[in-house]
Structure 1
Amino acid sequence: MRDLSGDANFVEPAALIGDRTRVRILLALLDERALPLSMLASEAGVSLSTMSGHLSRLVDGGMLHVRTQGRHRYYSLASPDVARAIESPARLAPPFAPTSLRTGTRAQALRTARTCYDHLAGHLGVGIMRALIEQEAVAGGDGRHDPDRATRDELSARGRDLDYRLTPRGWEMLAAIGVTVPETRRRMVRYCVDWTEQRHHLSGAVGAALFDRCIERGWVERAPNSRVVRILPAGEQGLHDWLGLDTSAFTRG
């Protein structure tokens, strides 16, 4: 145990934490995710250039670790000590008051459900993939992304390391809700590494067909001029009946 009898200079880390934007960065990373600059800027509601300056200060101050994968740099908390340092004042602090409806809800809406090209992503996309794996409808992996073991997989990008496939049970489950996968040369089952939870979500021809069917059944709808996907009341019930998903948990984070 370190002796803290007067030698702890906590002025510098306190100054790093004592900024609204940097607090939002640290809170976004508190659940052990690693996120790219663009996603952190969206979470904090600031420009990319502003975010870059804040991230540099947090890295130089020893609060963040940065990892390069492909063309992107991903930021995460530097240690469990940093997480504990954030959690303690967070218990005493009041929540941020959103400055507008957009800044207060956009990041949460994107995390809950959004499009990733032509398929579902966010908590909803990850939840569907997880349920399909747990119910042995999809085989070939456990749905988790481990950056230390990944060889080609990158965060927030198309997955390349694993070979997922739909099982006979999976085809039956898709048929039960009327999903029809068109004949195509496109690979049936692919996956992406979702930045929201750093797990896999379903893509490929099956992922696109499932998204289309969810729209046709009135389970979800696209938000105008946005990647946000709204889960409708019929979808809350339908996804629960089909996969046992509790979609209300997605909006609780």
Structure 2
Amino acid sequence: MKEGPDFTAIASLIGDPARANMLTALMSGKALTASELATEAGVSAQTASSHLRKLQDAGLLTQLKQGRHRYYSLSGDNVAQALEGLMGLAARLGHLRTRTGPRDQALRTARVCYNHLAGEMGVQMFSAMRHQGHFEFSETGLDLSEAGQAFVTTLGISTQDMPRSKAPMCRECLDWSVRQSHLAGRLGRAMLARFETLGWAERVHDTRIVRFSDRGLSEFNALFW
């Protein structure tokens, strides 16, 4: 008798094109309604409901009812991490969607990966912090060094005040477009939120794109050279 995790059921759920489009849309970190996800998947409302029920039953999605609407979101960081890993694998093996123009380049420059910064700028930030000695690598993974703690404090981020979570403080996440790591975990989430609070960056409505202002880009490059 074979033992261990059975990933075939999960793989078959993710592998359906309509469900894959729904899950990709939820990588923005924003909760979406069934009708919005039906549009993303290019299917009817009835078909979308069937897909969403299967994804929810499998534990990949959570649902929140508010008024007449039901909002769906990814059930956690581990689901987003698995999806980003599959995106990276697909990109490496050449399974890419046809580029449609400037929007694709904007996604490659800076985008939301569930709740943290990804794309070229996310990779730039992680690489700079690593070379500046802000991380320590141990058997348990990636941690902030003393220099890193001081750095994020000067940026206005308090690791002590972060919401309690099972997610690690720092985690490498393989970027599907650059194919190098960007920063995930609670710190990655806090960094993106701080950029938004400072007015350096904003999320483009109904997309995963993160757009930096001229000032924000200048400040970002000064910190993460």
TM-score, length basis structure 1:
0.48
Select the residue among 68, 75, 94 that pairs with 2:93: 75
Alpha-carbon offset, residue 219 of structure 1: 1.0
2:172 matched to which residue of 1?
Answer: 191
SS in structure 2 of the partner of residue 174 of structure 1: helix
Which residue is equivalent to 1:174? 152
Match of 2:104 among 83, 96, 107: 107
SS at match of 1:103: coil
Q: How does 1:84-163 map to 2 (within 5 A)?
A: 103-140=100-137, 163=141
Structure 1 counterpart SS, 2:158: coil
Counterpart of 1:124 in 2: which secondary structure?
A: helix
Does 1:217 pair with 2:198? yes
Paired positions, count: 137
Structure 1: 5+ residue runs without aligned partners? 1-36, 40-47, 49-68, 78-101, 142-160, 245-253
**Structure 2 stretches of 5 or more lacking a match?**
1-16, 22-40, 42-84
Q: Provide closer, same or farther for how the CA distance between residues 162 and 122 of structure 1 changes in structure 2, counting only shifts above 3 A.
A: farther
Letter in 1 for 2:208: R
Q: Alpha-carbon deviations, 1:169-212, whole Å to 9, x = none?
A: 00111111102331423310112110121111101000000110
Q: For 1:188-242, what per-residue CA distance to the aligned partner results, in whole angstroms no more than 9, with x for missing partners?
A: 0112110121111101000000110000011111001000000111211211232
Between the aligned partners of 1:104 and 1:234, the Cα distance in structure 2 is 26
CA drift at 1:76: 4.4
**Superposed counterparts of 1:218-237, under 5 Å:** 218-237=199-218
Contact 1:180–1:209 at 8 Å: present in 2 too? Answer: no
Q: CA shift at 1:103, angstroms?
A: 2.8
